[in-house]
Structure 1
Amino acid sequence: MTFSKTQLRLKPLALACLHMVLALPLYTSMTAQAHTDDAKSIALNSTASPSATIDAGMDKSVLPGDDFNRYANGNWEKTATIPVDKMSVGVFDTLIEDTDITVAKLIEATTKAAPGTAARKIGDFYQAYLNIEHINQLGLSPLQSQLDHIAALTDKTALATYLGQHLRADVDPINATHVHTENLFGLWVSQGFHDHTTYTAYLLQGGLGLSDREYYVSKNPKMVELRSKYLAHIASILKLANTPDPDNAAKRIFALETRIAQSHATREATSDVLKADNTWSQADFVKKARGLDWSAYFSAAGLQAQSSFIVWHPGALKGSAALVASTPLDTWKEYLRFHAINQRTGVLPQAFADQQFALRSAFTGAKKPLPRWRDAVDATNYALGEDVGKLYVEQNFSAEAKQRIRSMVTNLLDAFSARVTALTWMSPKTKAEALEKIKHTYVGVGYPDKWRDYSGLQVSAADAFGNMERTSAFFYQEALAKLGKPVDVTEWCMNPQLVNAVNMPLQNAINFPAAFLQSPNFDLRASDAANYGAIGATIGHEISHSFDNSGAMFDSKGELRNWWSKSDLAHFNQSSKALVAQFSAYKPFPDLAVNGQQTLGENIADLAGLMAAFDAYRSAMKQKGQVVTKETDQEFFLSFARTYRGKMRDETLRSIIVTNEHAPEQFRLLTVRNLDAWYPAFNVQPGQKQYLAPKDRVRVW
């Protein structure tokens, strides 16, 4: 749910994912971080005191009530520069880079482990990905059999079979266009909307090379320009692969993707879980989504025995299936050929990776590609993440840090419960349901209770391409094996070495990976005011996602059920509308404003989480017999503001506004305007630019 700008491969329902997500093909670089000189051990070895770091970044020449971001972070912003190979720089970017450097050292050590061990498997995967010379020598030969398969497709049934064979479980409901683009749809396996005991199958929209339908349909001149760059990219990839008549083929491929996008649900619609509650039997697909040979598709996907699916995006499935019937087979073959190549540019010769970066640069503003080792670390984390995570937590996450975070989690849950109990607008019955949900929330700290088993994944030190193919297939088969089995609510969807956090409403669970729990997010030496303002606000944010506009639709078991009274829900929705209006008024560009509805879930979580964190900080001080002062309140809010220190290129900022469920950092920081305590802490007065009258301060929880 926050701050950094990176591509992730998340298992849904990550409705509250901390990171901002930018969709690029699976095998290209998945992260964009800021520079640093060396890695820092988690929560222990940072040299500067937390308060000194806050003070050094402030610009006290401006009043807090006129520009709180500048007051808290202005001096940092004056001197911070975005490296040429990055799209942003900031606190979270630096944490990611520090962590990646640490992880790279751990991975490099595994290259010397004994053959056949789990550690050596990590090293072999990493070395294979890193060996671009060998990849260059192989050319397109690793992909040739698949390209031949595409060329040999003779009819639409064969097309359906091919699509089914390449269905992958690499999608989540919020970022549903991030699916493996050799397929029109993505599979997600999770507990059912109305059955928390059993894993079921969800089908979601997919099939686009760009991260969101808006890139294809928006009339904004900047979006039109990006479309032209993507069209040129398609042609360039086809030329590199010696495809006949690449320019005209590119036009046909782009036209097909545009038609696919036109039937896609918007980001706003996708986040409305009530619209996603559609159960279809296999027979329903034939009636409701005509045009695709569903029998051939499900059989090839290994889903022929699955009697029903939850269809998150029925309009997209209907539209794409119709396109299968109406679009010439030769166009589909061109589309599949392009995506078969484009999806794998990271493990194809350097010229393909260079072209992928050229496109990425247009969307992010980065001027130079990341070094190959960064891509190799990302790929290894994707394939063998929890095995790498074991190595990470052994050396970088202390028992003391875990115990301290757990105590903070307990305090935050208690604070949120107290806020619910004190609500004057909520009926006793609805309150009881909310409190029950808080009581049964699973919170994972640092690393999972049970580690993932990768023993079935075959890895070769000389086959980067094959390693990625086998990894994708391994995860798909792993997902299929869950269908019909009991749900494990303690299962993690993030690696311990990921600088991120997540709330999963269907599991009523929250994960806080170890790498997220380091300074300045959390520091064992820091005061309660500083820690609760930073990591406490994020813990509160994740808890609050269980009660945002999407999370509030799920009960304590993670089932989709309206547990609200009519009047309570009306009040909640009215408060939500006020927050939508507040954020929609923020306009980073003359032609582009923040979408308050699209970002509503994150904004609710920011607001409720910060309020709960403030209460918990004061409670922690009281428990220790410490005195709360104006200065400690200031430290709380400044610590919160520091977590949002960041600068990004305009291209990246535009992409985030259009495609992401998070508002840009400088506006998320302004959540403080809704907290009464912020005003006396900084003597914020009427007439100052960021002052809100008490009646205009939004309170959802």
Structure 2
Amino acid sequence: MNSWKSILLGACAPILLAACATVPAPPPAAPQVAPPPAVEAPKPKPKFGTFGFDVAGMDTAVAPGDDFFAHANGEWVKTTEIPADRGNATTFTALIEAAGVRTRAIIEDTAKAQAPEGSDARKIGDYYASFMDQAAIEAAGLQPLKPELDRIAAIKTRADLSRELGEGLRADVDALNATDFQTDRLFGLWVAEDMNDTSTYRPYLMQGGLWMPDREYYLGDTPRFKDLRAKYQDHIAKMLTLAGYDDASRRAARVLALETAMAKAHWSVDATSDVAKANTVWTRAELATRAPGLDWTAYLTAAGLADQPRFGAWQASAISGLAKLVGDQPITAWKDYLAFHAVERGAPYMGQALVDEHFAFNGTALSGTPQQRERWKRGVDNTSLALGEAVGKIYAERHFSPDAKAQVQGMVKNLLVAFDARVDRLDWMSPQTKARAKEKLANFRVGVGYPDKWRDYSALRIVRGDAYGNWERGSLFEYRRNVAKLGRPVDRDEWYLLPQDVNALNMPMQNMIIFPAAILEPTFFDPNADAAVNYGAIGGVIGHEIVHGFDDIGALFDPKGNLRNWWTPADMAQFKARGAALARQYSTYEPLPGLHLNGEQVLGENIADLAGLATAYDAYHLSLRGAAAPVIDGFTADQRFYFGWAQNYRSKYREAALRRAVLTGVHSPGMYRAQTVRNQDPWYGAFDVKADQGLYLAPADRVKIW
């Protein structure tokens, strides 16, 4: 466009010239030529392909109706090498690597700035620099571990043992998701809203004590598990030897025997997901009567929880079983166990010999990863773990624009409208239950990119040159921060993910979903991509998190986040029957010979995928506002939508990593998440799927829940 100034001058010039009568007339003016139209800056191209999908990564030799994952991603699978320091290559890991590079720049820039003593910036720089100072770490040797190992050596009585176990209690639940919980402490602590009254906090005790990923690793009778147990016992002995202990082989045998006894008490992954069963409340007095063996007074006093009147006992029988072991297993076995776990936990912050042996088992034996990640990557991860929101604040400022946030927020609104309409159309749900579902949906809160307020790290002491101590103090700071919530009003604005996390989260007791900045990147979200691809990709993720409020777990929580039934019995029976059909479908998948998915274990995530993708499809067509959907490069809008979904779940696994994901994970591996399209009616028309093709399901067999 022309500026206002040039327009005014051009219009006035002929008038001025005509007013001068005594001046000879000028020669005829040259014909006025209109200036060329302004050239708009070309729209930035999407990161992948011409419209946001990597067409070159397809394998068109595979029919979409036979294997949609391979059709959309097959060439990518063939040409992609799993990084030597990873157990898999996925869209998620690619974004994690990219976020790590960005976070490294933030941390190193901060370290160079010589910020004032005590500031968050100084703490970030000092934490990272301490971890990267290998010479200082080697010089310190085992000295940083000595205070804890000396306390363990001094244990003489069951009260001493209980006190040491309480001293080690930490709040280390991953992202407020009880089903993903894993800790090597005897118990873990989860401080969150009381499921029966979300206006208050409750401390939840949860099963722990195992170093290997799950009870099956201790109890499974396959050659693979037997071999891993032998390697684990050998690893325990090597770690204790490196820490200066004698008779390490005998000690290792005692540790493995004790952990095996713990595993027998543990609940399985799918049992842990049974929220109604797990929501057990014990009074302070009941801990001693229901879980004898542990000196609960000594334990809770050391843990700073002596004044708490009520506890959630998440896996009640496991807590009883673990407490019993404290009372009847030899104290010598417990001392060996505590010494090994202290060394194993601290190994990443110790000298190279311990670091290497730690990785040999945890990286290579357990997950098949041949090479340890570069030290700077581990330093970035550990710094983010300790000072995550301080780093995340800078990350959000640098890497998440207001325009991107507004675009995602607009998509969220469309998805909420679409899900509300889907509830209206359900032919199996009563008006009474529909009204409650819509009330719950109306109360949803959504966080995009970053929290509205940031965490205060002023009480966290970071000492330059003390890598192990910084980690230890960071872990204790996080524990105390969680315990300090007890007795205070519930903070509805707290986030449980960081802006630099490649993840998304539904918090059923807060009725809130969040999408950190780092997942709002291609392939999940590209502001320059075709809308159909974005709705299939990040729209499917947004829909997934919305539906988590209504999956087999989320559906148990009412509009205020309380664990309270809002369903008619007939509607709940229908809902469970449909979920059971989806579980049966996924249990037919066999990632490795003889190893099937456990459909019940992954049910919640698959319900979220199924209905979240369907909701995203509706939302995309709502976003068109009646306009015809364009065809791009020969692909229809519906095809591009489903390609966006499939591209989300590009995955390639090492065998050990895939086995671990199937046994311990609550998500189906990516290739099976992509195949949820077989339950979506529009997918059949979009790709002309025939009845004789591998993914085809007759209309009556397509699972529909929401």
Does the TM-score normalized on the shorter chain lie above 0.5? yes
Partners of 1:240 and 1:525 lie apart in 2 by: 53
Per the alignment, do residues 593 and 189 of structure 1 end up closer, same or farther by CA in structure 2, a change over 3 Å counting?
Answer: same
C-alpha deviation, 1:362, in angstroms: 1.2
Per the alignment, do residues 177 and 197 of structure 1 end up closer, same or farther by CA in structure 2, a change over 3 Å counting?
Answer: closer
The match for 2:298 is 296
The match for 1:652 is 657
Aligned pair partner of 1:130 in 129, 132, 143: 132
The match for 1:435 is 438
CA contact (8 A) 2:166 2:298 kept: yes
Q: Does 1:57 align with 2:57?
A: yes
Per the alignment, do residues 119 and 50 of structure 1 end up closer, same or farther by CA in structure 2, a change over 3 Å counting?
Answer: farther
Q: Does 1:384 align with 2:409?
A: no
The match for 1:272 is 274
Q: Does 1:77 align with 2:77?
A: yes
Aligned pair partner of 2:233 in 231, 234, 253: 231
Partners of 1:338 and 1:614 lie apart in 2 by: 51
Per the alignment, do residues 455 and 46 of structure 1 end up closer, same or farther by CA in structure 2, a change over 3 Å counting?
Answer: farther
C-alpha deviation, 1:481, in angstroms: 0.8
The match for 1:106 is 106
CA contact (8 A) 1:503 1:509 kept: yes
The match for 1:20 is none
Tell me which moved more, 371-380 or 208-217.
208-217
C-alpha deviation, 1:356, in angstroms: 1.2
Q: Does 1:636 align with 2:641?
A: yes
Per the alignment, do residues 45 and 300 of structure 1 end up closer, same or farther by CA in structure 2, a change over 3 Å counting?
Answer: farther
C-alpha deviation, 1:591, in angstroms: 1.6
1:542-583 deviations in whole A, cap 9, x for unaligned? Answer: 001111111111111111011110000000000001001100
Partners of 2:420 and 2:548 lie apart in 1 by: 14
CA contact (8 A) 1:57 1:74 kept: yes
Partners of 1:49 and 1:455 lie apart in 2 by: 46
The match for 1:459 is 462
CA contact (8 A) 1:534 1:640 kept: yes
Question: Equivalent residues in 2 for 1:479-498 (5 A)?
Answer: 479-498=482-501
C-alpha deviation, 1:526, in angstroms: 1.3
Aligned pair partner of 1:328 in 327, 330, 339: 330
Partners of 2:122 and 2:50 lie apart in 1 by: 38
Aligned pair partner of 1:507 in 507, 510, 517: 510
Aligned pair partner of 1:257 in 232, 256, 259: 259
Output the amino acid matched with 1:437: K
Aligned pair partner of 1:610 in 605, 609, 613: 613
Q: Does 1:561 align with 2:564?
A: yes
CA contact (8 A) 2:53 2:643 kept: no
CA contact (8 A) 1:178 1:211 kept: yes
C-alpha deviation, 1:221, in angstroms: 2.1
C-alpha deviation, 1:177, in angstroms: 5.4
The match for 2:596 is 593
1:656-680 deviations in whole A, cap 9, x for unaligned? Answer: 0000001111111110000000001
The match for 1:534 is 537
C-alpha deviation, 1:627, in angstroms: 3.0
Q: Does 1:409 align with 2:412?
A: yes
Output the amino acid matched with 2:132: L
Tell me which moved more, 614-623 or 300-309.
614-623
The match for 1:12 is none
| 1:622 aligned counterpart, secondary structure | coil
CA contact (8 A) 1:425 1:571 kept: yes
C-alpha deviation, 1:300, in angstroms: 1.2
C-alpha deviation, 1:52, in angstroms: 6.3
CA contact (8 A) 1:176 1:204 kept: no
The match for 2:525 is 522
Partners of 1:351 and 1:657 lie apart in 2 by: 31
The match for 1:689 is 694
Output the amino acid matched with 2:701: D
C-alpha deviation, 1:697, in angstroms: 0.3
Output the amino acid matched with 1:308: R
- Point out the structure with max Rg over C-alpha: 2
1:444-492 deviations in whole A, cap 9, x for unaligned? Answer: 0000011111111011111111111111111111111100211122210
Partners of 1:245 and 1:559 lie apart in 2 by: 52
The match for 1:167 is 169
Give the aligned length. 656
Aligned pair partner of 1:421 in 418, 421, 424: 424
CA contact (8 A) 2:505 2:514 kept: yes
Partners of 1:324 and 1:47 lie apart in 2 by: 56
Partners of 1:587 and 1:477 lie apart in 2 by: 44
C-alpha deviation, 1:220, in angstroms: 2.4
The match for 1:678 is 683
Aligned pair partner of 2:307 in 305, 308, 312: 305
Partners of 1:90 and 1:201 lie apart in 2 by: 35
The match for 1:7 is none
The match for 1:583 is 586
| 2:159 aligned counterpart, secondary structure | helix
The match for 1:8 is none
Structure 1: unaligned runs, 5 residues or longer: 1-42
The match for 2:27 is none
| 1:571 aligned counterpart, secondary structure | helix
Partners of 1:262 and 1:404 lie apart in 2 by: 50
CA contact (8 A) 2:543 2:615 kept: yes
Output the amino acid matched with 1:70: A
Per the alignment, do residues 567 and 410 of structure 1 end up closer, same or farther by CA in structure 2, a change over 3 Å counting?
Answer: same
Partners of 2:699 and 2:661 lie apart in 1 by: 31
The match for 1:398 is 401
Per the alignment, do residues 133 and 315 of structure 1 end up closer, same or farther by CA in structure 2, a change over 3 Å counting?
Answer: same
Output the amino acid matched with 2:116: P
| 2:681 aligned counterpart, secondary structure | coil
Partners of 2:528 and 2:138 lie apart in 1 by: 49
Tell me which moved more, 511-520 or 223-232.
223-232
Partners of 2:407 and 2:224 lie apart in 1 by: 47
CA contact (8 A) 2:281 2:311 kept: yes
Output the amino acid matched with 1:546: G
C-alpha deviation, 1:366, in angstroms: 1.1
Per the alignment, do residues 536 and 162 of structure 1 end up closer, same or farther by CA in structure 2, a change over 3 Å counting?
Answer: same
The match for 2:8 is none
Output the amino acid matched with 2:697: L
Output the amino acid matched with 2:112: K
Output the amino acid matched with 2:59: D
| 2:484 aligned counterpart, secondary structure | helix
The match for 2:666 is 661
C-alpha deviation, 1:93, in angstroms: 1.5
Aligned pair partner of 2:342 in 317, 340, 343: 340
C-alpha deviation, 1:46, in angstroms: 5.8
1:313-342 deviations in whole A, cap 9, x for unaligned? Answer: 111111011111111111110000000110
Tell me which moved more, 221-230 or 343-352.
221-230
Partners of 2:263 and 2:44 lie apart in 1 by: 48
C-alpha deviation, 1:281, in angstroms: 0.7
CA contact (8 A) 2:49 2:55 kept: no
RMSD of the TM alignment (CA)?
1.4
Q: TM-score, normalised by structure 1?
A: 0.92
Q: TM-score, normalised by structure 2?
A: 0.91
Question: Equivalent residues in 2 for 1:333-372 (5 A)?
Answer: 333-359=335-361, 360-372=363-375
Identity of aligned residues (%): 48
Partners of 1:475 and 1:390 lie apart in 2 by: 18
Per the alignment, do residues 244 and 176 of structure 1 end up closer, same or farther by CA in structure 2, a change over 3 Å counting?
Answer: farther
C-alpha deviation, 1:90, in angstroms: 2.7
Partners of 2:483 and 2:82 lie apart in 1 by: 42
Partners of 2:659 and 2:211 lie apart in 1 by: 18
1:272-317 deviations in whole A, cap 9, x for unaligned? Answer: 1011111101110111111111111111111111001111011111
Output the amino acid matched with 1:123: G
Tell me which moved more, 78-87 or 566-575.
78-87
Question: Equivalent residues in 2 for 1:112-151 (5 A)?
Answer: 112-113=112-113, 114-116=115-117, 117-151=119-153
